[in-house]
Copies of this chain bind each other. A is one copy, B any other.
Amino acid sequence: MSSNASNSQSMKGSFKHDLFAQFARVGKALSNGNRLELLEFLAQGERGVDELARISGLSVANTSQHLQQLRQAGLVLSRKEGLKVYYRLSGDDIITLLDALRGVAERHVADVERLVNTYLTVKDSLEPIPRDELLERVKHDLVTVLDVRPPEEFAAGHVPGAVNVPLDELEQHLKTLDPEQEVVAYCRGPHCVLAFDAVARLREKGLKARRMQDGFPEWKQAGLPVEEGE
């Protein structure tokens, strides 16, 4: 909170200290699971407070407070339109940061691996398909791409040619799928369970299903083509 200006020797320690304290503010914003979940939702696109409260299962007041912490840390920006306040990530580098965090946790925290393996029975058998490989196959119409996110998120941007099939509508769409053609599902990010779940169910039905590497935010950030609207 304190700040003095000078270029003398003795300032160095305090400058350094203050600087690390600022970095720590960003770290602190990432130190709570609910906030990380909010960030993941925001990585899909702009969202209102009530909407975020609903998907995250938090109270509106609590959600609002977390969002303000995120804003103070510089991770999100807000925009007011009539009654509603819309929040969004303050830049694409936030996605990079979140992926770095996920990656480190995945590689170095033993519990994460245990969790993932426990839930997914055998994660490796799901062999995620890399983004650029998928793009190649989409071009040649070799795969059906399923976007298993809710319609709003789909409308805000999705992989070109993808079909929006929210998880609970999966059963109805089963007949329309060619059992010979490979299906690739994706959702919000590398650990979004929707895609895992969709692939598991499709496989149960005997379809050739795989998961796309990571999720839509990473696809977009990689500079790959994006389609919008219905």
Contact = CB atoms under 8 A, between A and B. Distances in A.
Contact of A24 (B17, B33, B93, B118): B33
Contacts of A57: 13
Given A101-B97, A104-B93, A20 B7 contact: no
Tell me how many chains of this kind the complex includes: 2
Given A19-B191, A24-B33, 10 more contacts: A20-B36, A23-B33, A30-B30, A31-B31, A74-B107, A91-B104, A91-B108, A93-B100, A93-B103, A97-B100
A78 interface: no
Interface residues of A, number: 63
A83 interface: no
Interface in A175-227: 191, 193, 197, 200
A146 interface: no
B32 A24 contact: yes
Contacts of A115: 3, 15, 18-19, 22
Contacts of A16: 37, 191, 193
B109 A15 contact: no
A23 B118 contact: no
Of A13, A22, A103, A191, most B-chain CB atoms within 10 Å = A22
